[in-house]
């Protein structure tokens, strides 16, 4: 046997069996290294998501089910809704501490905070930007409260104790006017954008330009965070965020067209570089004569089909609420589709966030409905997403 192997090795041009084995081992080492690298690479992409996804999936399991929503809907009053929510660990710690709607907002803020903390490196920035939403909401609350002349105690009650500048915001409840709020934000990233919109606010005498400037800043930052994807997971975030930007632009355009506003009135509030609605399309939409013109101009995008369905309802009622509901539903569907694409990556996080936001939205609808005594359950049901 050994002799025949030696003969084969010699016939192959090797001086000894040792040199042949040496070459064999070297080839084996190279093949082994290639196999290991190719096999391990995808695992290393999944590794950072194992921990956050397990936490997220635990929370998905605790989301309120359809059956539980039906039971909450049957509650006689707000106290019964509160009692029901005490059975959920996420809500129980807040429902007795804050007014119900604020407790729901705090729970959502806490969820955003958790995701921003546990998200792996590559996508952390996006979720950090998402957390800015609570700073922006608090600033909007402050501005609206000061415009309405609310006292510091009432204003403080409306603030959500989350966000990067929550301590700055808390101090500003004491100031007297909107302008003082903006001055008080000096040194934060919101100062300049609010100062830029201040003249518009003073001219028009309404807080809308300030709120729109904040919304624009938030969505532009989100877009910036996903604009340079480093891997398949960050790439998946672009359609999710981009769809939200598209929906925001569309809502503003539709509202403006329903009020008969023109291109120049709308364009300052637009956010460019959306997902399906690129800049040239956005221009077409803003130049449309009316709401049905906007819907026609959407031809060629996925939004066309869903908006056409809502157009009939708009023509009947004159309210743009059906469009807004259709867009919200579309965002939810997009999130669901994306969440299934990367089950070992960012998928569960996107799916959970979307479902949590819908859950909070629906709970708020129920809370508002139950606040009005005798408000029909069937009407509340229709308003749920």
Binding site for other proteins (CB under 8 A): 1-2, 5, 17-18, 21, 25, 28, 32, 35-36, 39-40, 43, 46-47, 50-55, 57-61, 118, 343-344, 348
Task: Return the number of the residue (47 or 375) whose C-beta is nearest other proteins.
Answer: 47
Task: Return the number of the residue (123 or 266) whose C-beta is nearest other proteins.
Answer: 123
- CA-CA-CA-CA torsion sign (49, 219, 359, 94): positive
CB 44, min distance to other proteins, A? 8
Distance CA 58, CA 61 (A): 5
Structure-token pair, residue 54: 């397990």
Specify the length of the chain in residues.
385
Task: Return the number of the residue (20 or 218) whose C-beta is nearest other proteins.
Answer: 20
CB 28, min distance to other proteins, A? 7
Distance CA 384, CA 43 (A): 40
Task: Return the number of the residue (32 or 268) whose C-beta is nearest other proteins.
Answer: 32
Quickly tell me which residue has 């709020």 as its tokens: 181
CB 54, min distance to other proteins, A? 3
Task: Return the number of the residue (57 or 251) whose C-beta is nearest other proteins.
Answer: 57
Task: Return the number of the residue (2 or 12) whose C-beta is nearest other proteins.
Answer: 2
Task: Return the number of the residue (55 or 251) whose C-beta is nearest other proteins.
Answer: 55
Task: Return the number of the residue (3 or 264) whose C-beta is nearest other proteins.
Answer: 3
Q: Give whole-number Cα distances, 254 to 211, 251, 313, in Å.
A: 18, 5, 14
Give the residue among 317, 298, 321 at the shortest CA–CA distance from 308: 298
Distance CA 274, CA 248 (A): 10
Distance CA 101, CA 4 (A): 86
DSSP letter for 372, please: S
Structure-token pair, residue 295: 């819907």
Distance CA 257, CA 291 (A): 6
Task: Return the number of the residue (61 or 318) whose C-beta is nearest other proteins.
Answer: 61
Q: Which residues contact 78 (CB under 8 A, 6 or more apart)?
A: 100, 367, 370, 371
Q: Give whole-number Cα distances, 334 to 61, 111, 142, 197, in Å.
A: 21, 20, 33, 33
CB 43, min distance to other proteins, A? 5
Burial of 300 from C-beta contacts in 10 A (0-12 / 13-18 / 19+): exposed
Task: State the CB neighbour count (10 A cutoff) for residue 338.
Answer: 20
Task: State the CB neighbour count (10 A cutoff) for residue 158.
Answer: 18
CB 346, min distance to other proteins, A? 14
Q: 99 phi and psi, to 5 degrees?
A: -60, 150
CB 51, min distance to other proteins, A? 4
Task: Return the number of the residue (273 or 341) whose C-beta is nearest other proteins.
Answer: 341
């Amino acid at each position: 046997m050994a002799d025949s192997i030696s003969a084969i090795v010699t016939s192959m041009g090797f001086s000894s069996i040792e040199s042949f084995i040496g070459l064999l081992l070297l080839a084996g080492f190279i093949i082994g290294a290639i196999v290991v690298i190719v096999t391990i690479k995808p695992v290393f992409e999944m590794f950072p998501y194992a921990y956050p996804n397990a936490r997220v999936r635990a929370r998905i399991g605790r989301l309120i089910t359809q059956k539980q929503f039906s039971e909450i809907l049957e509650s006689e009053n707000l106290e019964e809704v509160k009692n029901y929510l005490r059975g959920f660990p996420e809500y129980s710690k807040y429902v007795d501490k804050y007014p119900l709607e604020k407790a729901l907002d705090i729970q959502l803020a806490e969820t955003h905070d958790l995701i921003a903390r546990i998200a792996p490196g590559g996508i952390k920035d996006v979720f950090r930007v998402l957390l800015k939403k609570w700073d922006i909401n608090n600033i909007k609350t402050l501005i609206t409260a000061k415009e309405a002349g609310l006292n510091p105690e009432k204003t403080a009650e409306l603030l959500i104790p989350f966000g990067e500048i929550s301590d700055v915001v808390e101090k500003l409840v004491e100031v007297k006017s909107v302008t003082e709020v903006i001055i008080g934000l000096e040194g934060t990233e919101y100062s300049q954008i609010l100062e830029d919109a201040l003249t518009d606010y003073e001219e028009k005498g309404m807080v809308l330009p300030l709120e729109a400037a904040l919304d624009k800043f938030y969505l532009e930052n989100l877009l910036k965070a996903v604009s340079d994807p480093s891997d398949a997971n960050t790439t998946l975030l672009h359609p999710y965020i981009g769809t939200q930007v598209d929906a925001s632009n569309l809502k503003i355009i539709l509202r403006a067209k329903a009020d008969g506003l023109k291109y120049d009135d709308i364009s300052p509030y637009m956010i460019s570089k959306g997902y399906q609605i690129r800049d040239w399309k956005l221009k077409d939409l803003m130049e449309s004569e009316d709401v049905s013109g906007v819907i026609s101009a959407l031809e060629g995008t996925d939004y066309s089909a869903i908006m056409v369905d809502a157009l009939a309802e708009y023509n009947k009622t004159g309210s743009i609420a059906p469009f807004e509901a259709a867009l919200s539903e579309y965002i939810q569907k997009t999130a669901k589709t994306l969440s299934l694409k990367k089950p070992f990556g960012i998928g569960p996080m996107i799916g959970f966030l979307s479902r949590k936001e819908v859950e909070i939205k629906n709970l708020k609808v129920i809370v508002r409905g139950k606040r009005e005594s005798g408000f029909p359950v069937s009407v509340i049901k229709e308003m749920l997403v």
